[in-house]
Amino acid sequence: MFWPKSWSATHLATFFGLNRIVDSLLEAELQRGANLAEERMYHYQALVAIASARGHASTLRMLLDLHCPREGSFLEAQVILPGLDETRATPLCLAAKNGHTGVSALLLKRGAAPDTPDDSGRTPLSLAAANGHVKVGALLIDHGAKLDGQDVSGRTPLIWAAEEVHEDVVKLLLEAGCKPQIKDDKGMSALSYAAKNGHRGIVEALIKCGAPLEDRDVWGRRPSEQARHSGHLAIAGILEAAEKERVE
């Protein structure tokens, strides 16, 4: 892996979760008076983000306890981590995206807002859903995360889970009360993506929860037509049978 030139020894120690080295380096920086207060704040924000993205709960706890007295500004800061994550995202977004349940729980306990999005409007729940992290998704739901938050493309957590074919996350979100009728900016619902991908379990779960069968996307296709267009004839048959059953 190539390290960004801007990364210091402290960044690298945080990346590998080397707590004693991180602590010693930060103490040395303070004794040298190396950074002005504002520069130090940005420096610590990056360290908190790196620890969150990597899943180092003990490193994160040490940073928050010993070096970041104003926790709020560190937990809600949107940070870009060159070489690690190019999106501008909060620590909770990074932890949720990478499936770090323990770190996510710690951030929420310390007051991180469960719905602060990244620079594409994706909430931590959407990021967990898109990457198939059901435990993080359940944790966020338990902490009151917004179920149907839409990003800049109109996708919700449920749409992301269906598009990326994560059946267990889809079922979790449906049980929590996510709305299957919401569509993205292409006019595609969670059922549209499930039909396109030919995933029977997700299709049947969405049908059971009353997902609309007749809605059309921007190309004029219903989910059944989307399945047939994508070559998933068995799925198209299931959807067409469901259409007839609802009419009757």
Three-class SS string for 159-223? HHHHHCCCHHHHHHHHHHCCCCCCCCCCCCCHHHHHHHHCCHHHHHHHHHCCCCCCCCCCCCCCH
The string of pLDDT tens digits covering residues 175-207 is: 999 999 999 999 999 999 999 999 999 999 999
Are 19 and 59 within one domain? yes
Are 3 and 91 within one domain? yes
Are 116 and 152 within one domain? no
| Domain C-terminal end among 120, 135, 170 | 120
Contact yes or no for 122/130 (Cβ under 8 A): yes
> What is the count of structural domains for the chain?
2
Assigned domain for 24 exists: yes
CATH number of the domain enclosing 223 = 1.25.40.20
Assigned domain for 134 exists: no
Q: Is the pLDDT of residue 72 over 70?
A: no
Q: Is the pLDDT of residue 83 over 80?
A: no
The string of pLDDT tens digits covering residues 115-165 is: 999 999 999 999 999 999 999 999 999 999 999 999 999 999 999 999 999
Assigned domain for 142 exists: no
How far, in whole angstroms, is CA 115 from its chain's centroid?
Answer: 10
Assigned domain for 133 exists: no
**Paired strand residues for 85:** 81
Could you list the residue range(s) of the whole structural domain that residue 27 is in? 1-120
What pLDDT does 74 receive? 72
What pLDDT does 3 receive? 63
Assigned domain for 8 exists: yes
Query: What's the N-to-C CA distance of the chain in angstroms?
Result: 59
Are 158 and 100 within one domain? no
**Paired strand residues for 89:** 79
Are 115 and 73 within one domain? yes
Are 152 and 115 within one domain? no
Q: Which two tokens stand for residue 136?
A: 């993080």
Are 7 and 109 within one domain? yes
Are 21 and 81 within one domain? yes
Assigned domain for 114 exists: yes
Are 156 and 87 within one domain? no
The string of pLDDT tens digits covering residues 15-59 is: 999 999 999 998 888 777 655 555 677 788 889 999 999 999 999
Contacts of 239 (CB under 8 A, 6+ apart): 195, 203, 207, 213, 222, 223, 224, 227
Are 179 and 104 within one domain? no
Assigned domain for 132 exists: no
Residue pointed to by tokens 């799925």: 235
Report which of 18, 16, 8, 20 is spatially closest to residue 44, judged by C-alpha positions.
8
Are 115 and 169 within one domain? no
Assigned domain for 140 exists: no
Report which of 208, 157, 219 is spatially closest to residue 182, judged by C-alpha positions.
157
